[in-house]
Structure 1
Amino acid sequence: MSTLATTVRRIALGTTAVGTATLAYAAGIERRRWTLREATLPVLAEGSRPVRVLHITDLHMLPDQRSKQRWVAALAELSPDLVVNTGDNLAHKQAVPAVVRALDPLLDRPGVFVFGSNDYYAPRPKNPARYLFPSNKRIHGVPLPWRDLRAAFIERGWLDLTHVRQLLTVDGQTIAVAGVDDPHLRRDRYIDIAGRPRRGGALRLGITHSPEPRVLDAFAADGYDLVLAGHTHGGQLRIPGYGALVTNCDLDRSRARGASRWGAHMWLHVSAGLGTSPYAPVRFACPPEATLLTLVPRPTAGSDPANTRERAPFGAGADVS
């Protein structure tokens, strides 16, 4: 065999080995590396006390994902003032008990929620190329028991913000909250909640599953301080130094995960979420996450005190699946 042929063969074998190792890491390790991300955002009215918000999204729960359930349940140790769930809790028609088991200790805390596409419909196998080249065509699986999940949340005191505006009292402070149904499925009807929320409270908070710019623009125009969203999985596959490949919506890649400004006055926080579709069970440079947001008063002058960090608490171990 010639020297050139030998070199080409070695390169091919090396590339295959690296690709296999990367896939094994993405599927076997990183997608179970539960991570708590923490951020401080300057969004409260002057004179307000800090508010701790736990943002959970995109569980995509399967019934036998026990370590995910244990890790999420342990988040109650953080004692958040408010829990915000931005949807896609389910990935199986029998997963409602598993989701309730995971969230059970947090359901004792004040909480609000909206649903996403994978609360309404189960995932289906898709061509992997659809991940990199998304289209407007939606492929739905069988209907999921979202009404049962909604009933369980409401029974424990969480508020469904689907096309609802509401005033909440959280740790003695008034928060104006509002939400829309999933814009990814074009179920959003912002007109149902349109209008500026009442002034005088500590915070004006909007929530949505998919951070579609048309919805974010509407919240910003109505004077909201902060919008929380999920759906993007942070890109799910990220290239170090480049970031997310896609967002699976019209949001630009730079905002696929974390906090950013939206317009002159509003903040956006997008969580990379805690799950994946069972038909694409990989994550790379984008571990599954929940986020503890510490909301503080807006600065009167100088730079914003926003910052983020991450940690992996509680030592949950690996999933059965």
Structure 2
Amino acid sequence: MVFIEPRRLNEKHYFIKKNKKKVLDISNAFDLYENDSNIVICHLSDFHFSRYFKPQRINRVIRSIMDIAPDLIVFTGDLIDNYEKWPHKETQRLVEKLNRMTAPMGKIAVLGNHDYRSEGYYFVKTVLSEGGFTVLENEEIFGSNDEVSINIAGMDDCLSGNPKFSFERTLAQWHLLLVHEPDGVLDTENIQNFDLILAGHSHGGQVRLPFLFYKIKGSITYTHGLYLLGKKTLLSISNGIGTSLFPIRFRVPPELIYYHLAKKPAEVEQEK
């Protein structure tokens, strides 16, 4: 079972209103909310590609993205497990797989601590860029379609990079923050300025037993799932796709998350 579960893929769908009082899990009926949302965001994290987890392992992820057709794709770090041990013959195939993920509003990524291992920073950033991702390092990017505007801030890795914990609020209708380690929010200023914060890193513990939940630095306080920070800021932590240390998972299957943002955020914000 522990060796089979890493090959599963759990697809989640959340319907999110501006005020966050209720986040709906619509995984079993997300098509019913198509007319109630004006942007769908796909959240990927922690691929940890290696000699044991090769690019063809994400074919189901690609098929899901092709089926759902999200407006925006975001990746919250740890593309490869360890640059020193990376099989370079797989690099071109990895770039090809990343390019097969498409979204009209673009693809945004931040780096994780494993992306820095063995001086892999430049390699990972190049692969992501060639795969069509814009890599944010303490930067912000603005995007919009015919119905909604969104500002996305991307924080550099908190363990191995040089993170910036302060970002300006803009006039966009929705504000997103991408971080790799979820505990990075503990040092982030004006956290209430963000509607949605997306993170990875923890793998949801990777192995979860009633008497055991493995925690790692960077996700001690916030470990998995959803957290409401203040009144209107939602932190969502992905279990990720790959594995680290050991190629096993138990009761924490790989996870692909879609966020369906509600229409008319300005009106929803006034709800009591």
TM-score relative to the length of structure 2: 0.79
Check the 8 A contact 2:240/2:254 in 1, yes or no.
yes
- Residue 213 of structure 1 deviates from its aligned partner by 4.5
Cα 1:65/1:186, change in 2 over 3 Å: closer
Separation of aligned partners in 2, 1:61 and 1:246: 21
How far does residue 156 in structure 1 lie from its aligned partner after superposition?
5.6
Q: Do structure 1's residue 167 and structure 2's residue 104 form an aligned pair?
A: no
Match of 2:33 in 1: none
Corresponding position: 1:263 with 2:230: yes
Is structure 2 residue 100 aligned with structure 1 residue 112? no
Partner of 2:153: 178
1:66 CA drift (Å): 5.1
Q: Aligned partners of 2:11, 2:217: CA distance in 1, in Å? A: 23
Structure 1 distance, partners of 2:94, 2:190, is 29
Structure 1's consecutive aligned runs of 4 or more residues displaced over 6 angstroms after TM superposition are none
Is it true that 1:188 corresponds to 2:163 in the alignment? yes
What is the one-letter code of the residue matched to 1:256?
Answer: T
SS in 1 for 2:64: helix
Any idea what the Cα deviations from partners look like across 1:128-159, whole Å, max 9, x if unmatched? xxxxxxxxxxxxxx332x42442343356532
What is the match of residue 79 of structure 2? 89
- Equivalent residue in structure 2 for 1:68, among 57, 67, 76: 57
Instruction: Tell me, in whole angstroms, the C-alpha distance in 1 between the residues paired with 2:39 and 2:213.
Output: 30
Q: Give the match for residue 102 of structure 1.
A: 97
Find the counterpart in structure 1 of residue 218 from structure 2. 249
Aligned partner of 1:42 among 8, 12, 17:
17
| 1:220 partner letter | I
Q: How far is 1:291 from its partner?
A: 0.7
Pairs aligned (count): 245
1:17 is aligned to none
Partner Cα separation in structure 2 for residue 250 and residue 55 of structure 1: 18
Q: Secondary structure at the match of 2:181?
A: coil
Q: Kindly report which structure 2 residues correspond to 1:120-199, keeping only aligned pairs within 5 A, or say none.
A: 120-121=116-117, 142-144=118-120, 146-155=121-130, 157-170=132-145, 172-185=147-160, 187-190=162-165, 194-199=166-171
Matches within 5 A, 1:11-22: none
Looking at structure 2, the residues matched to 287 and 89 of structure 1 have their Cα atoms a distance apart, in angstroms, of 18
Over 3 Å counting, the alpha-carbon distance change for 1:243 and 1:49 in structure 2 is: farther
TM-score using structure 1 length: 0.68
Partner of 2:189: 218
Give the fraction of aligned pairs with identical amino acids, expressed as a percent.
25
- Which amino acid in 1 is paired with 2:61? V
The one of 268, 271, 274 aligned to 2:241: 274
In the TM superposition, residue 90 of structure 1 has moved relative to its aligned partner by 0.6
Task: Work out whether residues 69 and 101 of structure 1, in 8 Å CA contact, stay in contact via their aligned partners in 2.
Answer: no
Cα distance in 1 for residues equivalent to 2:185 and 2:103: 34
Q: Which residue identity does 1:207 align to in structure 2?
A: L
In the alignment, structure 2 segments of 5+ residues that lack a partner are: 21-35
| Aligned: 1:80 with 2:70 | yes
Instruction: Determine whether 1:295 maps to 2:264.
Output: no
CA RMSD of aligned residues (A): 2.7
